[in-house]
A and B are shown apart, each in its own frame.
Chain A
Amino acid sequence: MLNRQCCRRDTVPAGAAYPLSFCKPGQEVTVHSVTGKCNARSRLETLGFVPGAKITVVSANHRGPFIVRIKDSQLAIGRGMSHKILVG
């Protein structure tokens, strides 16, 4: 029963969401939704990219992959994928 209170409490309104790829290093954002194909989306969700999750952008190289911190782990995310994660 725990989950009823805590899930999606931080959800961003749809209008305010923008892709993760727009973010700058050091920025803290909240996941709004993950778009894209099933496979990629499922893998992101598995790693904690669910609506309401907090992520910190650690490094954002120009055109290279992103490094973000989510739930105590650092993840490298390809450019293409970073367009598909909407945050607020």
Chain B
Amino acid sequence: MDKAITIALAGNPNAGKSTVFNNMTGARQHVGNYPGVTVERKEGGCTHNGFDVKVVDLPGTYSLTAYSIEEVIARKFLIEEQPDVVVDIIDASNLERNLYLTVQLIELGVPLVLAFNMSDVAAAQGHQFDLEKLSALLGVPIIPTTGHKNKGTAELLDAAIEVAQQTKGTNPEMVRYGQEIEQAIANVVDKLEKSNKLSYSRNRWIALKLLEGDDDVASRHLSAELRPVVEQQITEVEHKLDEALPTATASHRYGLISGVCTQCVRSTIERRHSISDAIDLVATNRFLGIPVFMGLMYLVFWLTFTVGAPLMDLLDGSFGWLAGVVDGWWAPGAESALRSLLVDGIIGGVGGVVIFLPNILLLFLAIAILEDSGYMARAAFIMDRLMHKIGLHGKSFIPMLIGFGCSVPAIMATRTLDNRRDRLVTMMVVPLMSCGARLPIYALIIPAFFPGAWHAPLLWIIYVIGIVLAILSAKLLRSTVLKGESVPFLMELPPYRMPTLKGIFIHMWGRGWLYLKKAGTIILGISILLWVMTSYPKKTEFQRDYDAEIAALQTSATTELQEEGLAEIENARMAETLSYTVAGRIGHALEPVIKPMGFDWRIGTAMIGAFAAKEVFVAQMGIVFSVGEADEDSDDLRDKLKDNYTPLIGFAIMMFSLISAPCMATIAITKRESNSWMWALFQLAGLTVLAWVVTTLIYQVGLLFGLGVV
């Protein structure tokens, strides 16, 4: 007979909560070394000693005030869903600050166990702890754990289950706030007890929060009758203490903590994060910071391309071979819809997307290393000055950096921003950070039109253009529709850590797997749909009698003229066939709009497909250029692009893909996170218009300089 209990994991950002969660549940949640990795609460489960344990990983918080969304989510869960036990993960190397949350959890009266994490790091820094004494002073059990080595997990579960079965809460009067504040608390509690049936400890907590001016608690518990009492108490106490009430309570909490720490912690050596400091001397240097950041980004793209290229060729070759094998099932030249669906639609479409897997894996490998090492937080710091100039602050830069991977988690990560205006602006511009799904488009186009030495620099330039446009758009939004003061910058810089191989591979493989899954589901479906649209209705009556023309050519002309003429005739036939299909008709209808950007109807149809998922662009180009061909020759898609378009058009395609309407998933997540269709549609329309304007400008100016001719 299994009994069920719920454990909530609380703790400071970057204290190792996600690692402990993974250890407990066996899940593979991404672990990063910067604050705000867990933006949403995540759930997992395990069985331990005959108990069904549900584990809920709460967002990391420093406190339980109502000033940020994470804190509100965490607090709401603790109060409303009443988990059987709360495990507070403590970063031992940063004990005092971590205990601040602990003290607040104790005051909230929840059943509590402390996981004393990263004690190895703390020991290396020369800290020694008297855990028995600490446990006695705080009145809660403490279990030492080493998250990344999976030590102490079983003991932690044992302790959590034991606490969950007791009914004993913590001591709500752990912190005594001094005579004036205590008197005020007593007065408010008195009033609360007359109007509700909550426990003393909960009422004490509510009273304290009301006195601290907590809006969220006030909206729930501050009745019209209570309001004047609370206001009067606040005025009186603040007058007597000559400081703001929340400041006084924070002081008292930290006072208690430093008292506890003097008794339980011994620091033997005065040496802290010295390697970290040395790295920071360069990484956050006022002159070197930005060049180092730009250089690292360049390195990321260089890695993505040069190391990825041979692997990609290998995959490309295998798909070509597969297409050949499948093609061989039919007699040469035979007309078969199934053959075309398999070879052109599925292998051409999905295969065209899958071959970019090495690039995706390498990009995420690089991002994972930057994240896990702790560099990302420095990047935010370096960019703060610039971000400040455009009316945002450095913290907006983290969602934007995540946006290099995928806009969806990036938009979710805007939750770390406290101010709604900052959040909205960041959400609107995040899709301009070139996501991983756009990489296949660049990886297809760049080598098709440009010499090898240009590859990495071009890719880098595209990403930089995205960043610059994001900055300009943010500035524009901030000075028009989303005016207002921005919240000041305040962010923890975690010490640098050596990323673990396991962590990096979890991150990289998780992303790669998502990519493959997408290729096997959405992209497969859309490829089939696009193939149908590109193949039907079939044209049977042609304007010209191509077969007769070919026959005439073969008898009359010389070999050289024959070849030239044949190619022209085949192209004309293919164009006529395609124009007749659904995709061709849509593309042609769009032509007046996309012509100024240098696009023909084929690119137009691919761009429509790209709205479902950006990678589809590549798939659709593959389909367009293989459907309707007389025979399945081994001509590379890149060669076909090169034959049909100029480098200027290639660049225009990349620009449009970079800026234009993000994919459906992004629009959906923007709607959810902004809680408004208006903003989601604004994002969609705004980016599409911007893309059109910028691409048209580039193309037309390029033509003016004669770039489009060759």
A interface residues (Cβ-Cβ under 8 A, vs B): 1-8, 33-34, 38-48, 50-53, 58-59, 61-65, 67, 69-81, 84
Contacts and interface: CB of A to CB of B under 8 A. Distances in A.
B645 to A, nearest CB: 44
Contacts of A64: 286, 384-385
Contacts, number: 153
Nearest to B380: A76
B491 interface: yes
Contacts of A79: 388
B381 A76 contact: yes
Contacts of A4: 176, 178, 255
Interface string B58-96: 000011010110000000000000000000000001111
Interface residues of B, number: 55
A26 to B, nearest CB: 11
B273 interface: yes
B256 A46 contact: no
A33 to B, nearest CB: 7
Most chain B CB within a 10 A radius of its CB, from A45, A46, A73: A46
Contacts of A48: 96-97, 100, 254
B246 A76 contact: no
B490 interface: yes
A79 B68 CA distance: 21
B259 A6 contact: yes
11 contacts: A3-B259, A45-B246, A45-B247, A46-B63, A64-B384, A71-B97, A72-B95, A72-B97, A74-B273, A76-B380, A76-B491
B592 to A, nearest CB: 49
B277 interface: yes
B656 to A, nearest CB: 35
Contacts of A81: 488-490
B650 interface: no
A33 B286 contact: no
B96 A71 contact: yes
B272 A72 contact: yes
Nearest to A84: B488
Given A46-B62, A48-B96, A6 B492 contact: no
Contacts of A47: 62, 97, 490, 492
A7 B246 contact: no
Most chain B CB within a 10 A radius of its CB, from A39, A53, A62: A39
A12 to B, nearest CB: 13
A42 B246 contact: yes
Contact of B176 (A1, A71, A74): A1
Interface in B415-461: 418
Most chain B CB within a 10 A radius of its CB, from A4, A34, A50: A50
Contact of A51 (B93, B246, B251): B251
Contacts of A51: 243, 247, 251
A80 B255 contact: no
A56 B302 CA distance: 39
A76 B493 contact: yes
Contacts of B272: 69, 72
A45 B250 CA distance: 6
Interface in B381-431: 381, 384-385, 388, 393-394, 418
Contacts of B489: 65, 76-78, 80-81
Contacts of A7: 251-252, 254-255
Nearest to B66: A42
A62 to B, nearest CB: 7
B255 A3 contact: yes
A62 B287 CA distance: 11
Contacts of A74: 273, 276, 280, 492-495
B670 interface: no
A6 B259 CA distance: 6
Nearest to A65: B384
Contacts of A67: 280, 284, 381, 493
Contacts of A53: 254
Contact of B490 (A6, A59, A69, A76): A76
B215 to A, nearest CB: 10
A52 B63 CA distance: 20
Contacts of B247: 33-34, 41, 45, 50-51
Nearest to B104: A46
B572 interface: no
